[in-house]
Structure 1
Amino acid sequence: MVFSSEKEVHDFYSNYAKKEGFNVRRGKAEYLPSDKSVLKAKYFLCTSQGHKSKEQIKKPTRYKRQDTRTGCAAMIKCTVNDGTWMISKVVLEHNHTLERSADGISGRAEGSHVMTSLSTGKIADEITPIVSNVNHSDVSQGTYKSHPMPGSDDTQKLIDYFKNMQIEDPFFFHTTQVEAAQGMANFFWRDSQSKVDYMHFGDVLVLDTRTRINKYDMICAAFWGLNHHRQRIIFGWAVLVNQTSFNWLLQSFLEAMSWRKPRTIITDVSKEIANALTAVLPETRHCLPAWSIWSSSCEYLLPLVDQVDRPGLGDLFSELVFSVHSQEEFDSKWKSFIGKFKLHEDVRLASLYRTREKWSHAFTKNAFSASLLSIRNLENARAVFGNLSLETMTLYQIALRCEEAAKHMRMEELKEDTDCEKDMENLVDRSPMMMKDAQRLYTRPIFKMFQGEFINSLSLVIEESGTTATHCKFKLTEEDTKIHTVEFDPSNLTLACSCGQFESVGILCFHALKVLNYKNIFKIPTYHLLKRWTKSAKDSLPVSTSNIGIADNGNPINSFHDKFMQGASHVAHVCTTKKRKNMALKFIYLTLEHIAKTPRTEEVADAVEDSDGNNDMGQTI
């Protein structure tokens, strides 16, 4: 939890203490070793913390007070950085009796409680589920303020909006979970286009939970991904009471998507989300955005190191996040980094190291992320919501804003589709054969990426470093003397590079392209041509394959009706022109004519054969 001043922290903890039945006092402060005027951390303690010293016990006093110190360990610790107070350590257990009254408010009215006037209504309800999971960098974002709950009119208007959407769009999906303890509700929804898009591009899923609805202090979450033009597309929206709702949210999302699971999911740093993913999506690779890790870590580290070393810190940490290609190299450079800046005892870095497989390229290079892990644009994800943090915005208005955002993204995709079709008429004739192949197949942004890789391959030095009957191995040296290795299997034209670009991005790297050119192969091998990046990515019904990484969980969703309706919905969404719409209607009418001509006796015979003695089926016929 994050606060802006020492008073806010003290008031927050005091209100919690008042509800639980104990008092709070300020504890010791920690300062930077290099500058004793810069506050680094502050403790807030239960008044029963510690014991009197022998000198205090022996000291004669006029009045003998009862000793209330029991050595209680309950406390919170705040790390202070640039005026921001963040709770970084919490101990909830007391070793003494707490003095709660019948109404849950402490009977004691002394010490820290006399100075505070904040309402305890929501604070006491929130602190236990939130702070019990605090673990240094995995800190849940919270607030000390009390916020109103959505009124019944506001909630009802949102539900009416869902009903109207379902009338307009029969495949619209929404679900609600009532939080009985707080009298509030969680909401998740998606329209039919979102499901069609997810079936094509749901290999990588981003769950953005950073936007808060100020009016109610709720979370506005978005599920999104990238289409074949590398444009953002929406898979679903949610409004959540707090961070304890992620299990329900992920289950709801899977239900809305016919239980198809993503290959990779990228989320904010949150222990609650990590726990929910372990429970609901244990087979999905969980990653954290590298740029977010880099920027937040550098901001945290700069005040901790000597001023002379600060200019080089960002570059060294950047190498750990983005440029290290093996796990052994990462461990070696991490130890060197910790030693250089004398950060062996830093608990936040220790926590960050434990999650290294989720954010360092050395560990994530084999996780397909469509390059979302490393680009800065992921930090601009708030643009999905626009200005949703207005104090006056209701839940219904937020839903409308989400709908507008999705429509805008789809218009951008339609425009790019049209431009791609025009480009098909202007292919460059004198380009190298592989470049023409790429321009014909890939969408414009992917072709530009491929073009850059192809050009970079020209400056590589290639050396064959080992050949067997089935495999060839090559060493590729770049101008800055970086070395990568590529293994090539001529029997099926597959390549594997140590940089891991194809596995993570889905297009061949310039190291692999150099090998193909060296072997006189001038077309992109079929295995390395991901349909999700091509102009025809949405031209056919999506299927579950290892290439797109979407798995079925075996639920009974693949009945004829479900398959047919899913196909019909897909056809409706790809019919963006008058010609396509007429074609679709024509074939529907032809299908109905053929079905009508099928002898009824054949239908009965087929149905009996399929039923295998099912009495219900026989009665239906």
Structure 2
Amino acid sequence: MFCVGALNSEDGVLVNVAPLFVEKSETEPKVGMKFKSENEVFEFYKKYAHHVGFPVRKRTSQKNNERVVTYVAFTCCSREGRKSSNTSTTLKPQPTSQTGRKARLSACSDTAGVWSITGVHLEHNHQTSPSKSRVFRCYRQLDVHVKRQLEVNDIAGIPLHKSYISVVVEAGGYEKMTFIEKDCRNYIDKVRKLRLGEGDAAAIQAYFSKMQSFSPGFFFSFDLDDEGRLKNVFWADNRCRQAYKEFGDVVTFDTTYLTNKYDMPFAPFVGVNHHGHSTLLGCGLLSNEDTETFVWLFRIWLECMEFEAPQGIITDQDRAIQNATEVVFPKSKHRWCLWHILKKLPEKFGYHCQKASILSSVHKLVYESQSADEFEHGWFSMLDMYELKNNDWLIGLFRERSRWVPCFLKTSFWAGMSTTQRSEGMNAFFDGYVHSKTSLKQFVEQYERALRSKIEKEFQVDFKSFSQMVPCVTRFDLERQFQSAFTIVKFKEFQQELTGKMYCDIESSDEGSFSTRYVVTEDFTVHERVKEKKFEIIFERDKCTFSCSCHLFEFRGIICRHAIAVLIRNKLSAVPEQYILRRWRKDIMMMKLKSFSSGLKLKQVILLYQSWDQVVLVI
């Protein structure tokens, strides 16, 4: 075994006391040493150079008639050769790392493919330093763990220099590092670029241009970086844009499903249509999930939808999305996904000896609190009971309670949605069309196929609502009014409230000058125990208007069982049109067609209905 043990004048320590090795022997490079491949030669030379303290690189190579490499030369230092600079002057000399050395290693292969070292020059007219080897470019590398940590921290908005410091601490100091901060910055810059295969950018642009030529209502936009490379993409066909005009009052936005499952940065805007089904309202492919990227996406989407912002938007707790929402949709109500929050409870309190009781208490407060005061009183009681006053996560949740607790949000219309699972459901719709190896170009093409399948299913549901009718379960004229107006799905929801009236009882009424106040009690079962809950309904008979403390109509657009009990008590046979929301009507598309088809021939109207996404072309 051969060891190098020279004294380094720069460091003042004995260097290279570790043995140098190759698969067959542990020594420095010598003429005649044999290897299985060119790469094996290079890796052996790199190990030797790393121990001695200098970088290596491939300088020249030669190929035979079959274009196979048979000769290669590696220079043993970046300073080999001479470098001249036209910009260097006596007053402003430019740094250079080349000093005219001849140190190098050459090797060639025989007819059997065995490589042999044919020349070695190990002389160095400069100091070498093994402690500096980690700084040379050829030895620097990021492992998988570090890459993942940098990506997660970048998404969380943590500055890169802080991420780098944390990695240094974890490694045990700078001398243990195999990379420098610049490598981390270069890696993050690289992953922020949209993951495109060869030719994907041009193919996507050509595909979108083709779609736009077929339908002028097709909208797309590209976001480029400073070097003109594709970063982010947004597109929406005309069907999405027309659907937004009817169903864009509440939108969910979620980026997790395809990103997690297929490593596909898909960002859909999703609403709920008149059948209660998810409907796509535009989507994007993103290179990054930071505030700047989301601001770009939201602004482009808003432009696509003629600058009509949604009344409400539901997202997860992502800080970058929240920041972008405040910038682009300052007047829209922003709600956090309730499912994502409650999902974190077991993780946050897995250590607590009373974990089950805490989870039960939080769920009860969230789902059973009728008012803000009731929730807040119960919240503070829970903190006292389980000694959680100093829990930072709960403190943050309470501070933002108006974004996620139902009793703070039920007075606004959310189309019955409280989670982003609409977005996740839309993402899941692409199952069977994409997989882990799907390129971005393939995804865009598969997107159209998947969406057309969904459009066909929506058409069939529309047809079912027109051609079939769910029978009434009572003799009330009120039920027949909703039967003739609502889609099948929404009429069934109304029927659930109507039949639920049997569990309600009008406990008292208080006549006023303009309205009557009713107190309605409802019996419901929890864990096989019957409980009672009281609701207050204000009814104005002259105007035939009403409101209930449960706020089901405000939240979902469906009249609640408590109000139905009062309406039937007052023998009302019908309600004003304001209680039959346009967005739940079975004839909403025919109403839209009527407004578009004025002056058109019958054939044109039929084509217009059958291909709604081509409406501009047909007209």
TM surpasses 0.5: yes
Offset from partner CA, 1:176-196 (integer Å, 9 cap, x none): 111338944110000011111
1:510-589 to structure 2, matched below 5 A, reads 510-541=561-592, 575-576=609-610
- Determine the structure 2 residue equivalent to 1:444: 488
Question: Partners in 2 of 1:176 and 1:415 — Cα distance?
Answer: 34
Question: Partners in 1 of 2:453 and 2:156 — Cα distance?
Answer: 43
1:445 Cα offset (Å): 0.9
> Pick from 93, 118, 124: which aligns with 2:185?
124
> Pick from 317, 325, 329: which aligns with 1:277?
325
Q: Would you say 1:455 and 2:505 are equivalent positions?
A: no
- Given that 1:209 and 1:222 are in contact with CA atoms closer than 8 Å, whether structure 2 keeps it comes out as yes
**Any idea what SS the aligned residue of 2:253 has?**
strand
- Determine the structure 2 residue equivalent to 1:412: 457
Offset from partner CA, 1:341-369 (integer Å, 9 cap, x none): 22222212222222211111111101211
Letter in 1 for 2:223: Q
- Give the TM-score, by structure 1 length: 0.64
- Determine the structure 1 residue equivalent to 2:544: 493
Question: Partners in 1 of 2:299 and 2:208 — Cα distance?
Answer: 19
1:538 Cα offset (Å): 1.9
- Determine the structure 1 residue equivalent to 2:382: 337
Offset from partner CA, 1:262-293 (integer Å, 9 cap, x none): 11111122111111111111111111121222
Question: Partners in 1 of 2:210 and 2:152 — Cα distance?
Answer: 43
Q: Specify whether residues 90 and 261 from structure 1 end up closer, same or farther in structure 2 by C-alpha distance, changes over 3 A only.
A: closer
- Given that 1:220 and 1:240 are in contact with CA atoms closer than 8 Å, whether structure 2 keeps it comes out as yes
- Determine the structure 2 residue equivalent to 1:209: 255
Question: Partners in 2 of 1:375 and 1:242 — Cα distance?
Answer: 20
Q: Would you say 1:326 and 2:374 are equivalent positions?
A: no
1:369-380 to structure 2, matched below 5 A, reads 369-373=414-418, 380=425
- Given that 1:228 and 1:534 are in contact with CA atoms closer than 8 Å, whether structure 2 keeps it comes out as yes
1:392 Cα offset (Å): 2.5
Q: Would you say 1:394 and 2:439 are equivalent positions?
A: yes
Letter in 1 for 2:496: G
**Any idea what SS the aligned residue of 1:261 has?**
coil
1:127 Cα offset (Å): 7.2
Question: Partners in 2 of 1:493 and 1:299 — Cα distance?
Answer: 47
Question: Partners in 2 of 1:262 and 1:122 — Cα distance?
Answer: 42
**Any idea what SS the aligned residue of 1:209 has?**
coil
**Any idea what SS the aligned residue of 2:588 has?**
coil
Q: Specify whether residues 122 and 94 from structure 1 end up closer, same or farther in structure 2 by C-alpha distance, changes over 3 A only.
A: closer
Q: Specify whether residues 340 and 378 from structure 1 end up closer, same or farther in structure 2 by C-alpha distance, changes over 3 A only.
A: farther
- Given that 1:213 and 1:389 are in contact with CA atoms closer than 8 Å, whether structure 2 keeps it comes out as no
Question: What is the percentage of aligned positions where both structures have the same residue?
Answer: 26
1:452 Cα offset (Å): 0.6
**Any idea what SS the aligned residue of 2:254 has?**
strand
- Determine the structure 2 residue equivalent to 1:259: 307
- Given that 2:383 and 2:389 are in contact with CA atoms closer than 8 Å, whether structure 1 keeps it comes out as yes
Question: Partners in 2 of 1:473 and 1:228 — Cα distance?
Answer: 32
Question: Partners in 2 of 1:517 and 1:351 — Cα distance?
Answer: 45
1:429-440 to structure 2, matched below 5 A, reads 431-440=475-484
Structure (1 or 2) with the larger CA radius of gyration: 2
Letter in 1 for 2:363: S
1:464 Cα offset (Å): 3.7
Offset from partner CA, 1:122-162 (integer Å, 9 cap, x none): 7436879xxxxxxxxxxxxxxx9899842451111111110
Q: Would you say 1:150 and 2:196 are equivalent positions?
A: yes
- Given that 1:212 and 1:220 are in contact with CA atoms closer than 8 Å, whether structure 2 keeps it comes out as yes
Alignment RMSD:
4.0
Question: Partners in 2 of 1:429 and 1:499 — Cα distance?
Answer: 24
Q: Specify whether residues 238 and 319 from structure 1 end up closer, same or farther in structure 2 by C-alpha distance, changes over 3 A only.
A: same
Q: Specify whether residues 429 and 193 from structure 1 end up closer, same or farther in structure 2 by C-alpha distance, changes over 3 A only.
A: same
Q: Which has the higher contact order (CA 8 A, sep 6+)?
A: 1
**Any idea what SS the aligned residue of 1:458 has?**
helix
Offset from partner CA, 1:30-70 (integer Å, 9 cap, x none): xxxxxxxxxxxxxxxxxxxxxxxxxxxxxxxxxxxxxxxxx
Number of residue pairs the alignment of both structures matches:
449
- Determine the structure 2 residue equivalent to 1:176: 222
1:576 Cα offset (Å): 2.2
- 479-488 vs 456-465, which deviates more? 456-465
Q: Specify whether residues 505 and 122 from structure 1 end up closer, same or farther in structure 2 by C-alpha distance, changes over 3 A only.
A: farther
Question: Partners in 2 of 1:124 and 1:150 — Cα distance?
Answer: 20
Extract unaligned runs of 5+ from structure 2. 1-150, 524-530
Question: Partners in 2 of 1:86 and 1:231 — Cα distance?
Answer: 33
- Given that 1:485 and 1:498 are in contact with CA atoms closer than 8 Å, whether structure 2 keeps it comes out as yes
> Pick from 210, 220, 225: which aligns with 1:164?
210
- Determine the structure 2 residue equivalent to 1:557: none
**Any idea what SS the aligned residue of 2:468 has?**
helix
- Given that 1:221 and 1:239 are in contact with CA atoms closer than 8 Å, whether structure 2 keeps it comes out as yes
1:384 Cα offset (Å): 3.8
Q: Would you say 1:194 and 2:245 are equivalent positions?
A: no
Q: Specify whether residues 125 and 536 from structure 1 end up closer, same or farther in structure 2 by C-alpha distance, changes over 3 A only.
A: farther
Q: Would you say 1:299 and 2:346 are equivalent positions?
A: yes
Q: Specify whether residues 577 and 195 from structure 1 end up closer, same or farther in structure 2 by C-alpha distance, changes over 3 A only.
A: closer
Letter in 2 for 1:268: D
Extract unaligned runs of 5+ from structure 1. 1-84, 100-105, 129-143, 545-561, 589-621
1:575 Cα offset (Å): 1.6
1:315 Cα offset (Å): 2.5
Question: Partners in 1 of 2:327 and 2:159 — Cα distance?
Answer: 25
> Pick from 341, 357, 360: which aligns with 1:312?
357
Question: Partners in 2 of 1:120 and 1:564 — Cα distance?
Answer: 65
- Given that 1:122 and 1:146 are in contact with CA atoms closer than 8 Å, whether structure 2 keeps it comes out as no
Q: Would you say 1:363 and 2:408 are equivalent positions?
A: yes
- Given that 1:477 and 1:483 are in contact with CA atoms closer than 8 Å, whether structure 2 keeps it comes out as yes
- Determine the structure 2 residue equivalent to 1:4: none
Question: Partners in 2 of 1:156 and 1:86 — Cα distance?
Answer: 30
Letter in 1 for 2:365: L
Offset from partner CA, 1:395-424 (integer Å, 9 cap, x none): 111112322232222112111111111224
**Any idea what SS the aligned residue of 2:270 has?**
strand
- Give the TM-score, by structure 2 length: 0.65
Q: Specify whether residues 429 and 289 from structure 1 end up closer, same or farther in structure 2 by C-alpha distance, changes over 3 A only.
A: closer
Letter in 2 for 1:157: A
- Determine the structure 2 residue equivalent to 1:112: 173
Letter in 2 for 1:225: G
Question: Partners in 1 of 2:267 and 2:157 — Cα distance?
Answer: 27
Question: Partners in 2 of 1:177 and 1:315 — Cα distance?
Answer: 46
Q: Would you say 1:476 and 2:520 are equivalent positions?
A: yes
- Given that 1:213 and 1:390 are in contact with CA atoms closer than 8 Å, whether structure 2 keeps it comes out as no
1:164 Cα offset (Å): 1.1
- Determine the structure 1 residue equivalent to 2:283: 237
Letter in 2 for 1:124: R
